[in-house]
Copies of this chain bind each other. A is one copy, B any other.
Amino acid sequence: MHELKDIFKHISPIDSKYIKLAQQHLDQLTKPKRSLGRLEDIACQVVAITENLKPSVDKKVIFVFAADHGIATEGVSAYPPDVTAQMVRNFLRGGAGINVLARHIGAEVRVIDIGVDYDFESLQGLHPGKIRKGTRNMLNGPAMTHEEAFAAIQVGLEVAKLAKKENVNVVGAGEMGIGNTTASSAILSVVIDCEEELVTGFGAGLTSEQRQHKVDIIKRAIEVNRDRLTDPLSVLAALGGFEIAGLCGFILGCAKERLPVAVDGFISSVAALVAVELHPTVKDYLFFSHLSNEQGHTSLLNHLNVVPLLNLAMGLGEGTGAALAMHLVEGAIKLYNEMATFDEAQVSKRLET
């Protein structure tokens, strides 16, 4: 943990003074007070995160952390493990769901190879950051060593730093990794102390029997690693994936850099949960994008006491929900920046009561 202390020192809560100033501005705009609902909350939060009373959300980037999982050999996914690398290629060619939605919202997609079991040549849009070609099978011990988990977190921290340096205004946190709902459910079950059955879903399309097998695998993995599950970082190392650790570091880094983060669905939320467990203030910097179809997401969001922006029964990952939420964030900021005030538009104010 002590390696992260330096980061934690630089993560501060957002200042309610900015929330108040932003709300005062919103209340001058030609609309009944609070009639833009959660869009007003979003605008206030972005103002407070950036400490900028005229924030911009022009530059939007979705970071997709990709990695393979040793546990994927245990029949926990509806798809074979080589799909991770194949989908990375699909992302880089622009054919995946996240590419379409990123284009739709005017965002860029960057893929971080943090642990894919494939040797990619140098490719446009691919950020190299491989720690290892996939995690170890967590039925035989920890998925990652502490050093590996920390290295993955470091990659995420670096990506956040780079985003800030490039003047990115809002980021999306997405992922790809065959087997990663298994890792995510295992982490979630331990962190929120909840029965494995209750937080394990059908992933990319398991049958009921396959899902039961996945629950059993998760129980065994937790049992095997029981003695190691003493703190959030150790849970992440023992049961996690490189993309989850990378996203956790990325989210910590964004909080440090005061960058608003749209957290995608189930897996990204698990990474955010670990980040918040490590440093609760991180929550101030996050937008939870959507309620995933994956069982367990509701328990996670309830544990964090957050309500996601969208509920469209999606469960694709990649950052697809984050992309849609980033469009709402941008819309909220545009409303805040561009709407006329009552005075400017010469619109009568509300009647005195």
Contact = CB atoms under 8 A, between A and B. Distances in A.
Determine the main DSSP class of A at the interface with B: loop
Contacts of A346: 86, 89
A312 B38 contact: yes
A56 interface: no
A177 to B, nearest CB: 14
A79 B349 CA distance: 7
A223 interface: no
Contact of A312 (B39, B93, B101, B344): B39
A33 interface: yes
Q: How many copies does the complex hold?
A: 2
A260 B32 CA distance: 29
A316 B30 CA distance: 10
A310 interface: yes
A184 to B, nearest CB: 15
Given A80-B351, A97-B335, 20 more contacts: A30-B96, A32-B205, A35-B204, A37-B293, A37-B313, A37-B314, A38-B312, A78-B350, A78-B351, A82-B348, A86-B345, A86-B348, A90-B340, A90-B347, A96-B340, A96-B345, A103-B338, A104-B331, A104-B334, A204-B350
A204 B351 CA distance: 11
Interface string A21-49: 00000000111110111110000000000
A347 B89 CA distance: 9
Contacts of A334: 100-101, 103-104
Contacts of A86: 345-348
A98 to B, nearest CB: 10
17 contacts: A32-B204, A32-B315, A35-B315, A35-B316, A38-B314, A39-B314, A78-B351, A80-B351, A83-B348, A95-B339, A95-B345, A96-B339, A100-B338, A205-B350, A210-B353, A310-B310, A324-B328
A327 interface: yes
Given A32-B205, A78-B351, A338-B100, A95 B311 contact: no
B78 A339 contact: no
Interface in A33-79: 33, 35-39, 77-79
A278 interface: no
Contacts of A207: 353
B316 A93 contact: no
A38 B313 contact: yes
Contacts of A80: 348, 351
Contact of A205 (B33, B83, B90): B33
A330 interface: yes
A87 interface: yes
A32 B78 contact: yes
A4 to B, nearest CB: 34
